[in-house]
Amino acid sequence: MKKSGFPLLSLGNKLIDAYIKCEAIDDGRTLFDEMTTRHIVTWNSMISTYIRQKRIGEAIKLYEEMILDGIIADEFTYSSVFKAFSDLGLLQEGRKAHGRLLVSGLSVSNVFVGSALVDMYAKFGKLTDARLVSDEIVEKDVVLMTALIVGYTQNGEDFEALKIFRDMIKDGIRANDFTFASVLIACGNLADMNIGKQIHGLLVKSVSEFAVASRTSLLTMYSKCGLIDDSLKVFDRFFNANLVTWTALIMGLVQNGREESALSIFCQMIRNSMTPNAFTLSTVLRACSILAMLTEGQEIHGLVLKMGLDRNRFVGAALIDMYGKCGIIKMASSIFNNLNELDVVSVNSMIYGYAQSGNGEEAVKLYDQMPGLGVKPNDGTFVSVLSACSNAGLLEEGRRIFSSIKNNHEIELSSDHYACMVDLLGRAGKLEEAERLINQVKNPDVVLWRTLLSSCKIHGDVEMAKRIMNRVIELKPGDEGAHILLSNIYASTGNWNEVTKMKVMMKDMKLKKNPAMSWIEVDGEVHKFMAGDLSHPRSMDIDEELKRLSEKIEGLGYVPDARFVLQDLDEKDKERSLYYHSEKLAIAFGLLSSSNRSTCIRIFKNLRVCGDCHNWIKFVSRVVGREIIARDAKRFHHFRDGFCSCGDFW
């Protein structure tokens, strides 16, 4: 000021104000630091400008300098710095400022100060403090009430958020777009369709045109309530959908089992020149994982690489999950090893991928490394690693891990944990130990007993199966899965009279067995095959390929196992039934459609692969010299050179 020859304080303040309006805050700061006397208005202008430009740390430092200079802050100062403290997560500093405000004789009853203070406490999850401040303010406005609603919603207290909204409307406070957006989120979290529709009606009456925030929340609310078609209707009325809206729709479709539609919407988004972010990409990769659509997943992976997001932990976890569920465990492992930052989601995805591919030792090894990686296991971790032990027959490792969970007072054993352990014990032939474990559960559910029933089938224990079946019927009389399992147990032991009785019983109960189905993707098109179904356009070629394969593998010692077909058929029909199992049809078609011997044949099946088909595929992989990957309802089987990755344990 002295060098410039401007002795007047007001002129200096006006010049700083000009710098701020021209977005030249650094020039303004230089002049500000040269001033010997600075008015509170100038302090406030500098602090609020730093906050507006997201330079929060500098705003707080300037506020602290102001206090040291003996300047008494006013309402405008506090309404600015409370936001700064909440943005940086500085709760104690915020409390000190609140105390300083009260000591100075100022009151939080000022709606601007009160709203900022409520917003700060709400963002810290201190809802009692936020509510106490709110109650002190007589003339409440929409900003204050919305801050309170947002706080309750973000802290999982959605019922309370709806109550505040109801009181706000009763008091005649007109909701704005952000209010509606927040309260619709609360309805979605509660999956409360009725209240959501009422608020939708109020929104229509209150505003002439929906803003993006409220419309996006409306779309999300309907999808969380399972009304995805209503979400699509809301989206269709958008003229200016932003990335958040597109992503919300894609996520809603995935959450409602409409993964193919989600992929279609994603393609539409790209065509509209909308650039996806990490959250969008991780969501659409989840759709590929669920559908096991490798080609589409690889295309999205290419986009991820182009955008430089391959090391992002959210996208990385989604890529690991996608490749793991498509059976490409080496690629999943490579992505995992290249992540900049590991969290429980990415580690769980990798452990689950190992579990599905039968790499139990690798899954356990990664689990044991988690403390050293600074990652704390959660419920999903334990389920995945116990599943890995079950799939690989790692009995002692499974016992060790289950015992550690049981002895950890921070973790409550869930039904899923018990189910994994029962499956592990049952597969290992420890049926009585598995039954004792179930009896330790306070209220064992039908899944636990059905899991043990499945193990009875593996080991042919008919007597235990009958006993377990009674427990299942007590809990769920019409459980078709258990009836089918018991019927299969009788069949595997040659008790065809009991099989016939079970069929009659199931017919009377109108229970139906899901038909076996396998599918394979060729050149972007999915081809489905049902057991015994010869309706495919290339069925004659498929039949010839099956004959050719059968001749070769029978020469190597393959013998059809008639135990896996109905015994009331004659020998010729038994062999024919085995011959046209769905996975055999899919593999034959895959071989016909791909002459490149380096190409892997990848098929999927809705049920567990039967013993005969498992043996058949091993022989076929040997004679054709190609890897065959089969994903059934339980896991992946990697067949190569006459061997399977499961070691015949599945």
Length of the chain: 650
Total count of domains within the chain: 2
In tens, the pLDDT along 379-438 reads 999 999 999 999 898 999 999 999 999 888 788 888 999 999 999 999 999 999 999 999
611 or 618, greater pLDDT: 618
What is the extent of the structural domain holding 531? 518-644
Specify if 271 maps to a domain: no
Decide which of 474, 509, 544 is a domain's last residue: 509
Do 525 and 497 share a structural domain? no
Do 640 and 522 share a structural domain? yes
Mean pLDDT of 141-152: 91
Decide which of 509, 532, 552 is a domain's last residue: 509
Do 524 and 503 share a structural domain? no
Specify if 37 maps to a domain: no
Task: Inform me whether the pLDDT recorded for 544 exceeds 70.
Answer: yes
Decide which of 455, 483, 509 is a domain's last residue: 509
pLDDT at 37: 78
Specify if 583 maps to a domain: yes
Give the rounded distance of the alpha carbon of 543 from its chain centre.
42
pLDDT at 12: 65
pLDDT at 296: 92
pLDDT at 24: 82
Single out the residue of 596, 576, 573, 574 nearest to residue 584, CA to CA: 576
Specify if 570 maps to a domain: yes
H or E stretch at 639: strand 636-640
In tens, the pLDDT along 556-565 reads 999 887 665 5
Do 625 and 561 share a structural domain? yes
Between CA 304 and CA 313, with CA 309 as vertex, the angle to 5 degrees is 120
Q: Of all residues in the chain, what percent carry a pLDDT higher than 90? A: 54
**Distance between CA atoms of 84 and 116, rounded to whole angstroms?**
10
Task: Inform me whether the pLDDT recorded for 572 exceeds 60.
Answer: no
Specify if 162 maps to a domain: no
**Distance between CA atoms of 509 and 288, rounded to whole angstroms?**
37
Residue 87, token pair as written in the block = 């943005």
- DSSP, collapsed to helix, strand or coil, labels residue 181 as helix
Q: In b/e form, how buried is each residue of 52-71, taking b as 16+ CB within 10 angstroms?
A: eeeebebbbebbeebeeeeb
Specify if 549 maps to a domain: yes
**Distance between CA atoms of 281 and 301, rounded to whole angstroms?**
9
Alpha helices, DSSP H only, in 272-358?
A: 278-291, 294-306, 313-325, 329-337, 344-356
- DSSP, collapsed to helix, strand or coil, labels residue 126 as coil
Do 472 and 579 share a structural domain? no
- Please provide residue 526's backbone torsions phi and psi, each rounded to the nearest 5 degrees: -90, 125
pLDDT at 292: 85
- Yes or no: say if 602 and 294 are a contact pair by the CB < 8 Å rule: yes
527 forms beta bridges with 520
Do 522 and 638 share a structural domain? yes
Band (3; pLDDT cuts 50, 70, 90): very low
Do 472 and 526 share a structural domain? no
Residue 328, token pair as written in the block = 């490409």
**Distance between CA atoms of 360 and 392, rounded to whole angstroms?**
5
Do 439 and 470 share a structural domain? yes
**Distance between CA atoms of 144 and 494, rounded to whole angstroms?**
74
Mean pLDDT of 476-505: 78
pLDDT at 11: 64
Do 630 and 540 share a structural domain? yes
Instruction: CATH number of the domain at 492, please.
Output: 1.25.40
- Yes or no: say if 178 and 194 are a contact pair by the CB < 8 Å rule: no
Band (8; pLDDT cuts 50, 70, 90): very low
- Yes or no: say if 212 and 241 are a contact pair by the CB < 8 Å rule: yes
Task: Inform me whether the pLDDT recorded for 168 exceeds 60.
Answer: yes
Report the chain's mean pLDDT, rounded to a whole number. Answer: 88
Q: Of all residues in the chain, what percent carry a pLDDT higher than 70? A: 94
Do 637 and 523 share a structural domain? yes
pLDDT at 207: 67
Contacts (Cβ under 8 Å, ≥6 apart) of 280: 243, 246, 247, 250, 266, 269
In tens, the pLDDT along 257-281 reads 999 999 999 999 999 999 999 999 9
Task: Inform me whether the pLDDT recorded for 235 exceeds 90.
Answer: yes
Do 527 and 500 share a structural domain? no
Residue where the block lists tokens 């399977």:
644
Specify if 386 maps to a domain: no
Alpha helices, DSSP H only, in 104-157?
A: 111-123, 127-136, 142-154
pLDDT at 36: 77
Specify if 499 maps to a domain: yes
Do 588 and 487 share a structural domain? no
Single out the residue of 363, 362, 370, 399 nearest to residue 384, CA to CA: 363
643 forms beta bridges with 640
- Yes or no: say if 353 and 323 are a contact pair by the CB < 8 Å rule: yes
